[in-house]
């Protein structure tokens, strides 16, 4: 077995990745990224930036994307639990407008790979969560856009029963619908 289990989702190029975890009474070790193994699995990516955020329960970040400088992302949770969502915004894709959600936590150690061309967001389910992600392009604040988290046409099944309300930033409150933002 390799160091990673690459699980295909129903959307092409979108993967759940389970790293091999080597643990004993002292703790554990795992690789987060291995260029050769990713390339051997068809994921030829070049990461240029790493980000780390901390959020409290009920915080929903997203759904974010960049228009001219789209970012592929390898995301994971190092503390707590989130429900992570990727929406296919690749106009020529057979799954355009479809989404996949996955639970990521410090316990399951799963990662989620989103290629460029996806809107991304997550909902914090634990008391707090620390979220890390590698990006294939640099962040360009002037290029950032988004889709409202509760878009009626996307019908994302957020696990709202696990939080006491959603906490949004002013920016995330102001995004338009999928039809309005993806032009």
Q: How far apart are CA 173 and CA 120, in angstroms?
A: 15
**Active-site position among 64, 83, 113, 120:** 64
120 is catalytic: no
* The two three-digit tokens of residue 60, written as one number: 């929903």
DSSP string, the chain: --SEEEEE-SSTT-EEEEE--EEETTEEE--S--HHHHHHTT------EEEEEEEETTBEEEEEEESSS---EEEEEEESEEEEEEEE--TT-TTTT-EEEEEEETTT--EEEE-SSEEEEEEE-SSEEEEEEEESS---GGGEEE--TT-TTT-----GGGSSS-B--HHHHT---HHHH--
**Active-site position among 33, 83, 113, 133:** 133
64 is catalytic: yes
Q: Which residues carry out catalysis?
A: 64, 133
């Amino acid at each position: 077995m390799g160091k990673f289990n690459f699980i295909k989702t129903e959307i092409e190029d979108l993967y759940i990745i389970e790293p091999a975890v080597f643990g004993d009474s002292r703790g554990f070790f795992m690789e987060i990224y291995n260029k050769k193994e990713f390339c051997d699995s068809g994921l030829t990516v070049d990461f240029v930036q790493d980000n780390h955020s901390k959020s409290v329960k009920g915080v929903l970040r997203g759904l974010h994307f960049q228009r001219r400088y789209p970012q592929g992302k390898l995301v994971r949770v190092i503390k707590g639990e989130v429900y992570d969502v990727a929406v296919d915004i690749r106009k020529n894709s057979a799954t355009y407008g479809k989404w996949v959600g996955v639970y990521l936590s410090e316990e399951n150690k799963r990662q989620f790979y989103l290629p460029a061309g996806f809107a991304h967001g997550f909902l914090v389910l634990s008391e707090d969560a620390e979220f890390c992600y590698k990006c294939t392009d640099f962040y360009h604040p002037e290029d950032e856009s988004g889709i409202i988290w509760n878009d009626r046409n996307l019908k994302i099944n957020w696990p709202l029963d696990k939080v006491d309300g959603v906490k949004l930033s002013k920016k995330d409150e102001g995004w338009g619908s999928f039809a309005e933002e993806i032009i």
